Amino acid sequence: MTEQKIVTRFPPSPTGYLHIGGARTALFNWLFARRHGGTFILRIEDTDQARSTDEAAQAIIESMQWLGLDWDAGPYFQSRRYDLYNRAIDQLLAEGKAYHCHCSPELLEEKRSAAKARGLKPKYDGTCRDLGLGPAPGSVVRLKCPATGTTHFDDLIKGPIRISNEELDDLILRRSDGSPTYHMAVVADDIDLGITHVIRGDDHVNNTPRQIQIYNALGVPTPYYAHVPMILGPDKTRLSKRHGAMSVLAYRDMGYLPHALLNALVRLGWSHGDQEKFTREELIETFSLENVGKSAGVFNLEKLIDLNAQYIRETSDQDLAGLLAPFLDAIGIRGVPARQLEAAVATLKPRSRTLVEMADAARMYFDETLAYEEKGDKKFLVPEVLPHLEDLARRLKVMGTFTEAALEDVFRAYLGERGIKLKEVAQPLRLALTGRTASPGLFEVMVVLGRDEVLRRIDRVLRHIEAKR
């Protein structure tokens, strides 16, 4: 027997941005397909015309691209596939597995209220089920569901799930305006696209028996189902906006690396021993649905920040410079030569947790209008330091190559001659060069700035101190 080729799908509804929960679902489907050499399909479920927007669809696609979740087919748009759904409905009608229902919304509402008043579950009572009615204005098409027995499936995560068919009423497949319903579209699509595994949030678990009944009526074997537990915030309530930014693009804009977010996402419900960090290849090699737990995953922003800081440190200067460029651009820093940007990045890497922080820290190198931190200005930019800064500037001007080692020699000699400690000149100089009292190592900073800029900044601080006298 040849092994079945695995086909998964991610079918977001474009009614909003791609959020953490959706991204995790996409990732699990993508990983499962990649793990098994299968196919991963993107489908946009835009049948709800009133709530779906092109912008949301675009933002979802952009989020997937940013995360590197590439798809092998699609994006399919449900709004362009009505023929497929209608063919399935017509087939069910022709085979007597679906029927036209003429009950008006008002009548149904009356029946629902009456059932509720008697303490019964409000479900369709099957009035039109066996009347053999044809289509009529305002009529809908319903599935003739089995009246007795059970519908069951073995969820790959939750185990066996069974529901009595008496709980389920004859669901609508085609609305009175002729449009197919959500369940009908999903099933027809999943069949058409050859989906073998449906991996989705467990908020869909109640939809599954209904969808299985449509498969059964169409005489098509059902796919495997894996319902992934929900995601909680650190306070153990369902993850929501209260817990911080929710959209993938917001995390991108806050300066997270896609790989850090991927690692945080995969750990929401899945684990592989105690391992916290995975390369893309490791994820593909080790991902399995057996290791998706039954309990909810907890999204922890602190952990994501830590992870991001680690990945920033591990990324090459060259790659980071590329990633940082749009963030610099956003704060008006443009046209920095690649070599200088890489050198700057190397000094900022150990101290930046996000690309936004890094861009902000990089400002000191490239922003010529550098302002001095007020407290430091008062404390360190005082007339006593003028002779030191003037003398050091003279030495820097004439020294040989402008490297960290050479700078160290120049400073050591100067401090020795004057009998002073580095700290007496370090803070004034740091303020002169960066505007701040905390920065990467002084010599590193000087090398990134280059000799001319260092001298220019010292000159500027000299005039600033003079002006205070």
Cβ-based nearer residue to ligand GLU, 41 or 345: 41
Smallest separation, CB 146 to ligand GLU (Å): 22
Cβ-based nearer residue to ligand GLU, 6 or 101: 6
Cβ-based nearer residue to ligand GLU, 23 or 312: 23
Contact between 366 and 333 under an 8 Å Cβ cutoff? The reply is: yes
Three-state secondary structure readout of the chain: CCCCCCEEEECCCCCCCCEHHHHHHHHHHHHHHHHCCCEEEEEECCCCCCCCCHHHHHHHHHHHHHHCCCCCEEEEEHHHCHHHHHHHHHHHHHCCCEEEECCCHHHHHHHHHHHHHCCCCCCCCCCCCCCCCCCCCCCEEEECCCCCCEEEEEECCCEEEEEEHHHCCCCEEECCCCCECHHHHHHHHHHHCCCCEEEEEHHHCCHHHHHHHHHHHHCCCCCEEEEECCEECCCCCECCHHHCCCEHHHHHHCCCCHHHHHHHHHCCCECCCCCCCCCHHHHHHHCCHHHECCCCEECCHHHHHHHHHHHHHHCCHHHHHHHHHHHHHHCCCCCCCHHHHHHHHHHHHHHCCCHHHHHHHHHHHHCCCCCCCHHHHHHHCCHHHHHHHHHHHHHHHHCCCCCHHHHHHHHHHHHHHHCCCCHHHHHHHHHHHHCCCCCCCHHHHHHHHCHHHHHHHHHHHHHHHHHHC
Smallest separation, CB 29 to ligand GLU (Å): 9
- Which residue matches tokens 């796919």? 223
Query: Which of 112, 204, 436, 464 is the binder for ligand GLU (CB under 6 A)?
Result: 204
Cβ-based nearer residue to ligand GLU, 26 or 283: 26
Total interface residues for ligand GLU by CB under 6 A: 7
Q: Which stretch binds ligand GLU (CB under 6 A): 6-14, 225-233, 256-264, 401-409?
A: 6-14
Task: Pull the structure tokens for residue 71.
Answer: 């798809």
Smallest separation, CB 62 to ligand GLU (Å): 17
Cβ-based nearer residue to ligand GLU, 11 or 180: 11
Cβ-based nearer residue to ligand GLU, 39 or 347: 39
Radius of gyration of the chain (CA): 32
11 part of the interface to ligand GLU, by CB under 6 A: yes
Smallest separation, CB 50 to ligand GLU (Å): 15
Cβ-based nearer residue to ligand GLU, 128 or 187: 187
Query: Which of 144, 174, 200, 210 is the binder for ligand GLU (CB under 6 A)?
Result: 200
152 part of the interface to ligand GLU, by CB under 6 A: no
Cβ-based nearer residue to ligand GLU, 12 or 376: 12
Q: In the beta sheet, which residues pair with residue 463?
A: none
14 part of the interface to ligand GLU, by CB under 6 A: no
428 part of the interface to ligand GLU, by CB under 6 A: no
Q: Which stretch binds ligand GLU (CB under 6 A): 5-13, 298-306, 310-318, 324-332?
A: 5-13
Residues 34-63 interacting with ligand GLU (rule: CB under 6 A): 45
Does the bond joining 180 to the residue before it have cis omega, within 30 degrees of 0?
Answer: no
- 241: annotated active-site residue: yes
- In whole angstroms, what is the distance from residue 67 CA to residue 29 CA? 13
12 part of the interface to ligand GLU, by CB under 6 A: yes
Q: Which stretch binds ligand GLU (CB under 6 A): 11-19, 285-293, 340-348, 405-413?
A: 11-19
Which of 236, 241, 421, 423 is flagged as catalytic?
241
Q: Which stretch binds ligand GLU (CB under 6 A): 9-17, 239-247, 309-317, 352-360?
A: 9-17
186 part of the interface to ligand GLU, by CB under 6 A: yes
13 part of the interface to ligand GLU, by CB under 6 A: yes
Smallest separation, CB 19 to ligand GLU (Å): 10
The CB-nearest residue to ligand GLU is 200
Q: Which stretch binds ligand GLU (CB under 6 A): 8-16, 153-161, 322-330, 410-418?
A: 8-16
Instruction: Cite the active site residues.
Output: 241
**Which residues of the chain form contacts with ligand GLU (CB under 6 A)?**
11-13, 45, 186, 200, 204
